[in-house]
Structure 1
Amino acid sequence: MMTASLILLAAFTLGLAWLVAISPGRLDPLRDAAGNVIPGSLSERVTVEIGGIPQGMIIQSVDPANPVLLFLHGGPGMTEFFMELDFPTGLERHFTMVWWEQRGAGMSFSGDIPPETMTLEQMISDTIEVADYLRAHFGQDRILLLGHSWGSYLGIQVAAAAPDRFLAYVGMAQIGHQLRSEVMAHAYLLETYRARGDTAMVRKLEASPISMTDGLSPEWMRVRDTAMHRAGVGQTHDMESVITGIFLPVWSVRAYTLLDVWRGKLWSRPFFWEALLRDDLSARLTEFDLPVYIFVGRHDQTANPALSRAYFDAIEAPVKGFYVFESSAHSPLFEEHGRATEILLNDVLPRVP
């Protein structure tokens, strides 16, 4: 028994040492096709006091004079810079990319954050303050705002509150009414697994009640991600497992230290999840004073694209654009980065008032 315990301890220690070695909390410089560091380029972790607490962001750009693009990650509390490993967007070639990690998430997690500050109002205020810091730091009057999933729920409210800070708002997997999306996902997955003859998954889904009245059951939350990814309707269309598609890639991002990501994810989510589920944005937030664009993946069941479209149709804005990515699920910016970049450069920026 003692020998087995020692072997397990040794294996755990070696694994921990390996993770620390590959994730030292440093960013690699940006390089050209020949492997040379690009002169004048920017690739750094930055910590700024936002809303009274230190908050972290990753900033990368081949030319810091390029338009600033502030990316709002999903979750709540789930940083997304790790997606650049397997799905490089290349956006740092055209924009000054800012991967801000929100209050309580990733580099912005701290056990000293007062729980009472984990409110939507504070998150909106934080985002505006980050935008103001970036505008001043890079000498740009307005910047581009892009929100993904939970970040789209936050971002579209920021866009409504402070349109003067932004060139345009882009919502990827735009949330409109998340509880309705979850109910639709449950029905879709039941139909899919019945058609496949996967009786084991059908039984799990049937034992996972979900409704507009009672909300989400614990059983649904346990089976949800596995069922979605096996059906190709989760984070990406070709991601079959949260473990291989998210958990392991996060650990291998050298920009993060060992505990940057998961403690923030676990801590942040409960503060916002129930309100996020119940809020119907299309019933209360439809008028905007800046251009609004929405990117959806055809195969997405995390944020149902039909609901995103219904919300888009209700929106009044100076300029609007809705784009369906046929080969994508929840993350079209990463899954079809070429088309996403083309839209940003040739559709969004040229139409800025």
Structure 2
Amino acid sequence: MERYKNDRQAISVVEKVVLGGVDQYILIQAVDITKPVLLLLHGGPSMPLPGVSAKGQDYTIVTNTSKLIEHFVVVFWDQRGTGKSYSRHIPKESMTVAQFIEDANQLTDLLLERFHYEKIFLAGHSWGTIIGLSLVSQNPHKYYSYTGFSQIVNWTKNDELSLSWMKQEAMQRGNSRALKQLNALGQAPLNQSFAQWATLRKWQRNFNTLIYTDEVIKHPGMWGIMKSLLRSETYSLRDIYNSFISGFQLVYSLSFVRELEQYRFEESVQSIDIPVMFVHGKYDYHVHGSLVEMFHKQLVAKEKKLIWAQNSGHSFHPEDTLDNEQYLIEQLSYVK
């Protein structure tokens, strides 16, 4: 990539990079390209928010960005097989957790070389936290700090909690059809068939575990999130289709689900030699906060912090995304 000749220069550009032998796309935004780099890892998989579509937009489902790009070189990445990084030529067998982690590691190295820093900042949301926590546990020397928004700790234990919560919700709603289907799933891990796993996700969607709203707390909702994609200056309708349809079909398989179950961070990650921050929605019934709280207590880190977003479920409320933006800016204190 071209080296910048100007020490101080704004940038807002979508670029193609090759990661793991596959063309993928990143969005780089900054008021000043000499600032430290922050790499954001979106959730999903195949839910590229915040991702390349964030160009020119402030609110994302994790953080606001207008102040963020004044303090960082912010890098948004559409991961392999989703959004602008979708291609029908990507082999399905390459869609593994290990390959996503390696792609992110290669992107980290690319950013370190391009912007001439010894370290970058890293933050992930939901599925992106599996990539993120794996990266910083394996290569802490590459990162100033790590922030896990809606951190996943143990996929199977989270499914256990989700199944229990949804059965209670089905009973409270008098939804006998949901209760019958949920009872028929048996116990986690839900890896006997892809249909078994998909049934749990169906009722998570139907019971709106991604977004919290009540009489006081009002969230823009999934339609508000979708509108951000529709009005994106970098996204086409095809990119949206490639996120939620083609990308979903590419990444999800029974083998992928079984691989996810192997990531049990409370067992595999005892310590991390960098500052770590977890930010979790108080009303997140999609990724259950009790597991994050347990992991935070046992984790040995250079510094550690757990913050509860008071208005949020799994996707963060606009009031909380403003706070999340500030939490990330405060991480700059770790630059020596």
Shorter-chain TM-score category? 0.7 to 0.9
Matching of residue 207 in structure 1 with residue 174 in structure 2: no
Within-5 A mapping of 1:1-353: 40-81=9-50, 82=53, 84=57, 86-87=59-60, 88-90=64-66, 91-192=68-169, 194-195=171-172, 198-200=173-175, 202-209=176-183, 210=185, 211-214=187-190, 216-229=196-209, 232=212, 238-239=218-219, 242=222, 244-260=223-239, 261-262=243-244, 263-270=246-253, 272-277=256-261, 279-332=263-316, 335-346=319-330, 348-351=331-334
Deviation string 1:152-179 (CA, Å, 9 cap, x unpaired) is 0111001111111111111110001122
Q: Is the 8 A contact 1:42 1:62 kept in 2?
A: yes
Alignment partner, residue 10 of structure 1: none
Alignment partner, residue 3 of structure 2: none
Amino acid in the other structure paired with 1:226: N
For the residues of structure 2 that align with 1:287 and 1:95, how far apart are their CA atoms?
27
Q: Is the 8 A contact 1:59 1:98 kept in 2?
A: yes
Q: Is the 8 A contact 1:41 1:61 kept in 2?
A: yes
Runs of 5+ in structure 2 lacking a partner? 1-7
For the residues of structure 2 that align with 1:334 and 1:189, how far apart are their CA atoms?
26
Going from structure 1 to structure 2, the CA distance change for 1:279 and 1:40 (only over 3 Å counts) comes to closer
Q: Is the 8 A contact 2:159 2:188 kept in 1?
A: no
Deviation string 1:191-226 (CA, Å, 9 cap, x unpaired) is 34544xx323x5324422342254545433322212
For the residues of structure 2 that align with 1:206 and 1:93, how far apart are their CA atoms?
51
Runs of 5+ in structure 1 lacking a partner? 1-38
Deviation string 1:223-262 (CA, Å, 9 cap, x unpaired) is 22121259728xxx745864x2444543332211322223
Comparing 275-284 with 165-174, which one deviates more in the overlay?
275-284
TM-score, scaled to structure 2: 0.82
Comparing 144-153 with 315-324, which one deviates more in the overlay?
315-324
Q: How far did 1:55 drift? A: 1.1
CA RMSD after TM alignment: 2.6
Q: How far did 1:74 drift? A: 0.8
TM-score, scaled to structure 1: 0.78
Deviation string 1:128-175 (CA, Å, 9 cap, x unpaired) is 110111112112221101011110011100111111111111111000
For the residues of structure 1 that align with 2:190 and 2:102, how far apart are their CA atoms?
31
Q: Is the 8 A contact 1:73 1:148 kept in 2?
A: yes
Q: Is the 8 A contact 2:204 2:286 kept in 1?
A: no
Alignment coverage as a number of residue pairs: 307
Comparing 45-54 with 111-120, which one deviates more in the overlay?
111-120
Amino acid in the other structure paired with 1:225: R
For the residues of structure 2 that align with 1:207 and 1:106, how far apart are their CA atoms?
32
